[in-house]
Amino acid sequence: MKKIMNQYKGNVLKAMMMLFAMSVAFAGTGTLSSCSSDDDPFFTVSEDDNPRILNTDLADKKLDRKTKLNLEIKVTPVHYTTVTWLLDGNQIAEGTTIDQPLPLGDHELKIVATTTKNKTTSRTLKVTVIPAADDPALGTNASELWVAPGETTTIRNCKNLVDHVQKVLIAGKEAAFEVLDEGKALKVTAPSGLANGDYDITLVDGSGVQFPCGTIKVTTEPRPSMETTLWEGEFAVTWGTPFEALKETFLSKVKAGTILRVYVDGKGQGTATTASWNNILTGKGGDKERGDIMVDGPAKWEFKLTDLSIQLLKEQWGLILVGNGYTVKKVTIE
């Protein structure tokens, strides 16, 4: 009888220990499941928590105008936090993701996480948006970007103007313009009434997209001379003695759009050619087609170099001045 009682007590004790272990296990499982799950790793139980931006890979961005800014932000407490996106202080999006193009230029992008308790944190990035390959652009010659109010200037070495430019804005005001040279030059008239100063010049396409192109100086002050003297002295040109002092060095100092000026005196004829005696603007040669300029006293010749000019000078051994009966006084470029 005593042996049976001892076995009974042992079985009861084992059963009680098993029940205790199971209750502890269930309690632990319940506690863990109330905190998080694999599907919601950033959820916290309190909206009083301070917000945090969890991304560790945020860095400054550089993209072209046609590439969208695409980012996703991870925050906590996720169910109590709103994310806003500020570009240069102006809100452009709300939510944990952004996928949109940005305007040209250098920008400050601020990502702000705000909880329902108005607690905030933020990250700030620099975003640089550059022109796309086929965007319109203006030349940068300072003398061409200098114009009086109400007057006209021609800006050369431009690109992609044809079929792109529908408006030109100077200081936010629409300016009269004309596209020249198959989209490589822009003739523009500065709005009248502008005070002397540097103003933004912007191109606008048919969809209203704006393309900032730097600044243009609108002023009543005389345009300063941008001429650089390459040679000065006296050299008498004859059919047998062309001017060759710049033959080897001229090409390294010029590009398409450069203005060549030759100051001459005397009584005769001549022009600027390659070493093959072909005109530097047309490529034509021979006495009839070379395009000699008649000289009868002091004169100034002016040649605006083109892509063809540069090609001719490269292929035909540089610049010379040919003709007869005149004296070269000075050669400059601008």
Tens of pLDDT, residues 131-177? 999 999 999 988 899 999 999 999 988 999 998 899 999 999 999 99
pLDDT in tens, 23-49: 544 444 444 333 444 445 444 458 899
- Asked, for residue 299, whether it belongs to a domain, the answer is yes
User: What single-letter DSSP state applies at residue 253?
Assistant: G
Which sign does the torsion angle of CA 251, 257, 263, 267 carry?
positive
Among residues 199, 231, 232, which one has the least CA distance to residue 215?
199
Task: Output the pLDDT for position 26.
Answer: 46
> Taking 50 as the threshold, does the pLDDT of residue 192 lie above it?
yes
Q: Where are the alpha helices (DSSP H) in 228-273?
A: none
Do the domain assignments include residue 158? yes
Please report, for the domain that includes residue 73, its CATH number. Answer: 2.60.40.10
Per-residue pLDDT, 313: 97
In a domain, 274, yes or no: yes
Assigned domain for 14 exists:
no
Q: Is residue 8 part of a domain?
A: no
DSSP secondary structure, 71-129, as one string: EE--EESGGGEEEEEEETTEEEEESSEEEE---SEEEEEEEEEEETT--EEEEEEEEEE
Asked if the structure places residue 12 within a domain, the reply is no
Range of the domain at 190: 146-218
Whether residue 155 is contained in a domain is answered as yes
Range with the lowest mean pLDDT among 42-46, 238-242, 282-286? 42-46
In a domain, 26, yes or no: no
pLDDT band of residue 211 (cuts 50, 70, 90) is very high
Same domain, 183 and 234: no
Give the Cα separation of 122 and 113 in Å (integer). Answer: 6
Planar angle of CA 212, 214, 215, nearest 5 degrees: 125
Same domain, 174 and 251: no
Q: What CATH number corresponds to the domain at position 255?
A: 2.60.120
Mean pLDDT, the chain, whole residue set = 89
**What is the structure's pLDDT at 14?**
57
Q: Which of 75, 96, 130 is the last residue of a domain?
A: 130
Give the tens place of pLDDT for each residue, 89-127: 999 999 999 999 999 889 999 999 999 999 999 999 999
- Check whether 3 has a pLDDT greater than 70: no
69 and 117 fall within a common domain: yes
Count: domains in the chain:
3
Which of 43-47, 133-137, 191-195, 236-240 has the least mean pLDDT? 43-47
Residue 7 has a pLDDT of 54
Same domain membership, residue 85 and residue 171: no
pLDDT-based confidence at residue 9 (cuts at 50, 70, 90)? low
Position 28 scores a pLDDT of 45
